[in-house]
Structure 1
Amino acid sequence: MSDDDGVRDGNAPDEEEFDVGLLEEELRAATAILDPVPSALRQLAVEAYALHDLDTRIAELTFDSLVDALPVRGAADVPRMLTFRAGELTVDVEVTEDGLLGQLMPPRPARIEVLSGPHAGVPLTADDLGRFAGDAPPAGPFALRLRTGGDVVVTEWLRA
């Protein structure tokens, strides 16, 4: 049964069916011209994919002073204390308005990057006692990527 509007039984139009693949291709081309992906976002996607490494371990957040600590009455500008754990490695981090301080336990030297959005990671170095410091506090979501020997550990992402 056919209606005057060219629809049979409420399903498909009488006209020849259009090619979905061609439509998708045309929409992608239009989007690339009218709303291209910003290069910073493209770089962030590449870096996020680079984190998808089977050898990378995720350090789980086990303590956050914003959630787990009891507030101290009258205390202002209290640093945020974070503890991450990946197997035998513990990463303690103190975040203040002046920057961040941290220590790896058991102590070991490491190269550390403070990952924050589309920007390149801020490089830090942990000394032989596992201590590290950064002069700038993380802004927005951040994570730490640690390279110790052949191991790569990435902390969970948190909002500063």
Structure 2
Amino acid sequence: MNDDDHLTPGGPGPGPLPGEDAFADALLEEELRQAAAVLDPVPAELLQSALDAFAWHGLDAHLAELTFDSLVDALPVRGAMAPPRMLTFRAGELTVDVEVTGDGLIGQLLPPQSARIEVLGGPPPARPVSTDTLGRFTSDTPPTGPFALRLRTGADVIVTEWLRA
């Protein structure tokens, strides 16, 4: 091997320069992103759902943990064809009980308090609802696909875990 072998194409050579592979990988990744954007664009509804999912990521939002899900925790009831799904979330001292039916959501905050509730997910996006004096709420839009609830209770923002409808 002589000193000129690294200059001949296909010769043994020293290999790519430092950073050359990373640059080529980044260039290929960008070309693939552009091709995917043209050939298989992300549906607007999916993009909005992703933005809504990330929306709770604020410093002022608290995550409400799922503590009961009738699909997992309840015993089956004999003769019940399609029982509603019952969910319970907890964030600090606040409990959110929710019944998911084919007609929408019915729920209650305990202890009762005033709140504005948004069903995140979609499409179609559900209109926000407010609790009554007993902390009860009803949404006439059943959730489809992944969904979560965002509660605004005075100065607090609470978001439930995401679940599949």
Same fold, TM exceeding 0.5? yes
Q: Could you say if the C-alpha distance between residues 98 and 24 of structure 1 is closer, same or farther in structure 2, counting changes exceeding 3 Å?
A: closer
Residues 49, 63 of structure 1: alpha-carbon distance in 2 compared, 3 angstrom cutoff: closer
The reply on whether 1:114 has 2:119 as its aligned counterpart is yes
* Counterpart in the other structure of 1:129: 134
Q: Helix, strand or coil: the match of 2:62? A: strand
Tell me, which stretches of 5 or more residues in structure 2 are unaligned?
none
Which residue of structure 2 lines up, in the alignment, with residue 150 of structure 1?
155
1:54-95 per-position Cα deviation (integer Å, ceiling 9, x unaligned): 110111010111111111211222111110000000000011
Aligned to 2:94: 89
Q: Label 1:42 to 1:109 Cα distance change in 2 as closer, same or farther (>3 A).
A: same
- Partner in structure 2 of residue 6 of structure 1: 10
Measured after TM superposition, the shift of residue 25 of structure 1 is 4.4
Aligned to 1:76, the other structure's residue is in SS state: coil
In structure 1, runs of 5+ residues without a counterpart are none
Pairwise CA distance, 1:96: 1.5
**Contact (CA 8 Å) 1:93, 1:101: kept in 2 or not?**
yes
Letter in 1 for 2:95: T
In the superposition, relative to structure 1, how do residues 7 and 52 fare at CA in structure 2: closer, same or farther (>3 Å)? farther
Which residue of 54, 64, 70 maps to 2:69? 64
TM-score, length basis structure 1: 0.80
Question: What TM-score comes out, normalization by structure 2 length?
Answer: 0.78
C-alpha distance in 2 between matches for 1:32 and 1:72? 48
Residues paired across the two proteins, number: 157
Percent identical? 68
Deviation at 1:23, TM superposition (A): 4.3
Q: Over residues 118-146 of structure 1, what are the superposed CA-to-partner deviations in whole Å (9 max), with x where a residue is unaligned?
A: 65343111112110011232112111110
Q: Measure the CA separation in 2 of the matches of 1:25 and 1:72.
A: 53
More moved, 149-158 vs 45-54: 45-54
Give the root-mean-square deviation of aligned CA atoms: 2.9
